[in-house]
Amino acid sequence: FPSWAYDKRDFFWFETVKQSSKSLARVGRIHTPHGIVNTPGFVSVGTNGALKAVDHRAADEENCELMFMNTYHLLLQPGPDTIDAAGGLHKFVNRDRPIITDSGGFQVFSLAYGSVED
């Protein structure tokens, strides 16, 4: 696509800010439709859509740029219908900043048969 045909804010792209002259290390920015994530950086983990022991407003005040969630856990609870009814994942968790998810493939195999109870 020619650059005039789209708005760069609609896509993901990576910007190298600084490249080491001694190694492949670099500092960069991941540009997303929901904001910029500086790399390297801290990623908060809320596998089921909620941070543990931290209010989401406190995380925002600390400039938590990226939140990690697990698709399998979200599938089990609250479920795709609930997330869809809320207007999508960002609206469900009340977050306007970037979110990253993994497929939950490991959990599908490790948790698929239930758990052991005493």
Q: Does 12 fall in a domain?
A: yes
Determine which of 2-6, 12-16, 85-89, 106-110 has the lowest per-residue pLDDT on average: 2-6
pLDDT of residue 115 exceeding 70, the answer is no
Pair of tokens at residue 98? 């970037």
Inside any domain, residue 117: no
Q: Are 35 and 51 contained in the same domain?
A: no
Q: Are residues 13 and 63 in the same domain?
A: no
Confidence band, pLDDT 50/70/90 cuts, at residue 3: low
Q: Is residue 31 part of a domain?
A: yes
Whether residues 36 and 73 fall in one domain: no
Does residue 91 share a domain with residue 108? yes
- Please give the single-letter amino acid code of residue 24: L
Boundaries of domain holding 49: 42-112
> What count of Cα atoms within 13 Å lies in the side-chain half-sphere of residue 71?
8
More confident residue, 108 or 83: 83
Distance CA 113, CA 111 (A): 6
Number of domains forming the structure of the chain: 2
Give the DSSP letter string of 11-66.
S-EEEEEEE-SSSS-EEEEEEETTEEEEES--EEE-TTSS-SSS-HHHHHHTT--E
Residue 36, domain member (yes or no): yes
C-beta of residue 93 within 8 angstroms of C-beta of residue 66: no
* Residue 118 scores a pLDDT above 90: no
Same domain (yes/no): 57, 94: yes
- pLDDT tens for 75-91 read 999 999 999 999 999 99
Q: Are residues 47 and 79 in the same domain?
A: yes
102 three-class SS: strand
